[in-house]
Amino acid sequence: MLSRFMSGSVRNLEREYNCTVRLLDDTEYTCTIQRDAKGQYLFDLICHNLNLLEKDYFGIRYVDPDKQRHWLEFTKSIAKQMKSQPPFTMCLRVKFYPPDPASLKEEITRYLVFLQLKRDLYHGRLLCKTSDAAMLAAYILQAEIGDYDPGKHPEGYSSKFQFFPKHSEKLERRIADIHKTELIGQKPEISERNFLQKAQMLETYGVDPHPCKDVSGNPAFLAFTPFGFVVLQGNKRVHFLKWNEVTKLKFEGKTFHIYANQKEDKKIILTYFAPTPEACKHLWKCGVENQAFYKLEKSSQVRTVSSSNLFFKGSRFRYSGRVAKEVMEQSAKIKREPPEIHRAGLVPSRSCPSITHGPRLSSVPRTRRRAVHISIMEGLESLRDSAHSTPVRSVSHGESFIPRSRSQVADTSEGMAVISDEAYSPSDSVLPTPVAEHSMELAVSRQINGAPCSIEEEKESEASTSMHGERGDFGADSRSAQEGAGGDSALSEVEQVNKFVLSVLRLLLVTIGLLFVLLLLLIILTESDLDIAFLTDIRQTPEFEQFHYEYFCPLRRWFACKLRWVGGLLINK
């Protein structure tokens, strides 16, 4: 009896597993779910826990053992998607950035998007000019600590927070000046809304960067935003394609293609190379989902997308969920009392650590700081010098979901859009694979800048580094592109030859297959006695009878003779 009870308990444990989801405020939600539970079940649990109704903008992200990031698919089993063993650890993140975040219906949704953008700012994904950076940081300061109080906030109080990958004393003073003089009396929800309005005007708003290389081997970051597809190189946005211009997204191995139709029926194809085939597939799936979410009018218009063609076996993927227009229409129907929001306040977080996490850059001796700064600037200059790509065009963000103010600003930009005073180089959390030789350098730079140095955070792909540490992984790619361009080009030539050989082999196999099918059909027509109407009609035509007696019968006799000859040789041996 006891053994039967124990075996039943073991089977129940095998059917269940623990799952931990790190939320945007860095708290953790842990639950036990069935092994066959789908992603939608876990997502609904989290949204219920957060009292979140406008949930279509969010998703659950996880990292596989190879450090490749993925979005959890809600229509599939969680256990089948995870390549690791339970317990599973994942993150709740904004998957589709709202085109106008300040106009979201509920304050809880605006607050979660605010936390995501604050995290993007800290990791270098939301990059902007110094004047905009100071204003954004001041809004964060006002939302988290309230009005300036000389008794509570001594000189240099703004240096206790790290809003960006790296700070300067001049920027910290500017942040404090804005907080002291311009934001007095603003409540947290007002500051957060102002932050959202400011952030949505930036060129890097909604950017979830994917590191790639262009056809010349230069580093680039590809991203999908509410307004279209963007390519960032150096401190510039070198390409922007509106969603209604993008006609097709395709990948083959590590190669990613974007097909688009511009004005006056001008067709273009952009080609980039991802670090790994898995990273390229993730890039393709993100593009398919974003295009469906922002471009389509109804979710019923969503179709299964395939990356394959006649000679290449590709992947098939279908976006599941509502599209942006449906989400906004549904949000307008929400009628309930606003849920209570528990803001993090001064609680230290991984996305905006306080001084309790360790010394900041300002605590390093000035000579050391100057050396670090020079090293950073040299890297930025080298990346900026290498940031050239295919010809750049002038476009505007003329989407139906874009706020009017954003559209007016975008229409004034001609050619390359300068996104910042420095090169776009987000933290190593965007990389699919780690580089072991830089681990010590990254750990030291994290300690210098007060950033967390947790192994779990690196696994969660949310670890933060300084600009010096940021270049640890992707900087190696940029150096290899500059110092070994010949090696990269030779490698790409080998890959192109291999692809050509594979395509020829596939073409040959397809041709042989077609010939074999035709041969079978011919044998059925001539040798079988099947009494089928259309076969009988074909046999009775004069052309077929002539072919049968003048060509097929002699060919059959010749084959039979050869087979008897070969059989005789084998028997005699």
pLDDT for residue 139: 95
Token duo for residue 221: 């970051």
Distance (Å, whole) CA 280 – CA 45:
31
CB 298 within 8 A of CB 310: no
Region of 53 (left: φ > 0; alpha: ψ -120 to 50; beta: rest) is alpha
Q: How many CB atoms lie within 10 A of CB 521?
A: 11
Q: Which amino acid is at 388?
A: H
Residue whose pair of structure tokens reads 């947290």 in the numeric block:
188
Helix (H, G, I), strand (E, B) or coil at 284: helix
Q: Which residues contact 227 (CB under 8 A, 6 or more apart)?
A: 99, 206, 240, 242, 243, 294, 397, 399, 402, 406, 410
Residue whose pair of structure tokens reads 């039967």 in the numeric block:
4
User: Degrees (nearest 5) of the Cα angle 192, 193, 199?
Assistant: 85
Nearest to 117, CA basis, from 93, 138, 90, 134: 93
β-strand partners of 228:
225, 242
User: Degrees (nearest 5) of the Cα angle 292, 293, 298?
Assistant: 80
Helix (H, G, I), strand (E, B) or coil at 248: strand
Look up residue 402 and give its DSSP letter: S
Per-residue pLDDT for the chain (573 aa), expressed as one digit of tens each? 555 545 554 455 468 899 999 999 999 999 999 988 999 999 999 999 999 999 999 999 999 988 999 999 999 999 899 888 888 999 999 999 999 999 899 999 999 999 999 999 999 999 888 889 999 999 999 999 999 998 888 888 888 888 988 878 899 999 999 999 999 999 999 999 999 999 999 999 999 999 999 999 999 999 999 999 999 998 888 999 999 999 999 998 899 999 999 877 788 999 999 999 999 999 999 999 999 999 988 888 888 777 765 555 567 777 888 999 999 999 999 999 988 888 865 433 344 433 233 333 333 333 333 333 333 333 333 333 333 333 333 333 334 344 444 544 444 343 467 776 677 777 644 443 333 333 333 333 333 333 333 333 333 444 333 333 333 333 434 444 344 444 444 545 676 677 788 888 888 998 998 988 887 877 777 777 677 776 777 777 888 778 777 888 888 888 888 888 888 888 886
**Strands 228-233 and 236-242, how do they pair?**
antiparallel
Q: Which residues contact 14 (CB under 8 A, 6 or more apart)?
A: 35
User: Which pTM value belongs to this model?
Assistant: 0.67
Please provide the DSSP assignment of 156-182 as one string: TGGGGS--SSS--HHHHHHHHHHHHHT
